[in-house]
Amino acid sequence: MGIARTQDEENERREFESFRQTLVAFASLERRKENGEFKSLSSHYANVDLEDKLVCVTCGVSFLGLALVNRLLLHGYSVRVIVDNQEDVEKLREMEISGEMLACKNKISVVMAKPTEIQGLMEAFDGCQGVFHTSAFADPAGISGYSKAMAEIEVKATENVMKACARTPSVRNCVLTSSLLACIWRDSSQHDLPPLVNHDCWSDESLCIDKKLWYALGKLKAEKVAWKIAEEMGLKLTTICPGLITGSEFSYRNPTATIAYLKGAQEMYANGLLATVDGSRLAEAHISVFEAMNRTAFGRYICFDQVIEREEEAEKFASEIGMPANMICGNSFDFIPTRFELSNKKLNNLMSKTLRSCYGES
């Protein structure tokens, strides 16, 4: 048990060291802005009122949460980080007291709110124009790190967050982080399944239950309840469905999410549906979608930057996450693989438009 605690502490230290380095970079960027080094650069958000740039990030100390906070700061947003325990609050406060967050003191704040308490979430969201619900939950008691009970907890937490967003007058838009797993687990015995898997595809709930894919089930049901509440309560919502999040030491910092996502990896690999996305690119995708919600962004967006299709790719990936290659490739299959094609065209089109606007191109 002592070794486990030591490893956990080391993982947390690495996460916050990464966060600290970004805050230092942010401070340097702010100084360069003050010195007028960026006056000639155009920006697609330059005409946004700074008072409209206060946003909230839930699960703000998760791998994705920290990456998103970092990118939001660099984009000029003020960020309210939501955590659900006092320990995480104190860790972030220590960074502020030590001076590491000094340059961001007017840009970042930390609030503790329980996902089980709608009123507390509303108070945390008050004044924010947008909410990013990164939905980064984990269950150490689950065999794969994510049990069936955790799926129901995630659904309820997402339901509460959506209701709190809808009831908070200042909140205009919400971006929910779902998962590619909410799109790809369909019954392949149905011969009429289209080969293209895109944002219009939904996983089969009964199939997830039969295969005990609890992580996929949790993401699927949470996203569905989010859309239901958004429709009923008039909340402007978009969802992003990412592949397995990767990045510097992600699997070691987040073994629960990695192992839970990869349950069924052999079948995903055989069907051409095992995809990954770098955490920084995913964070940038969240911001691109959020900033386009008052113009063209709507619905769901699949996000990935690599589909693992060849054996050498699978072996390299397995090595990077510290997993035996046969857990990805498999020595044999108990099913007949059906090749599908993943499409993130909708997101790519939106992000390319964002880049063109940054450079003043039509």
Residues labelled catalytic:
219
State both tokens at 211.
């295969």
Q: How far apart are CA 240 and CA 289, in angstroms?
A: 9
Pairing of strands 306-307, 275-278: antiparallel
Q: How far apart are CA 174 and CA 234, in angstroms?
A: 11
C-beta of residue 220 within 8 angstroms of C-beta of residue 290: no
Helix (H) or strand (E) holding 299: strand 299-303
Q: Tell me phi and psi for residue 359, to 5 degrees.
A: -100, 10
Q: How far apart are CA 220 and CA 258, in angstroms?
A: 17
Residues ≥6 apart with Cβ < 8 Å to 150: 137, 138, 139, 142, 214, 218
C-beta of residue 360 within 8 angstroms of C-beta of residue 40: no
Burial degree of 146 (CB within 10 A; 0-12, 13-18, 19+): buried
- Alpha-helix runs per DSSP H in the chain: 2-34, 63-74, 86-97, 118-125, 148-167, 181-184, 205-210, 214-233, 250-253, 255-261, 265-270, 279-291, 311-320, 345-358
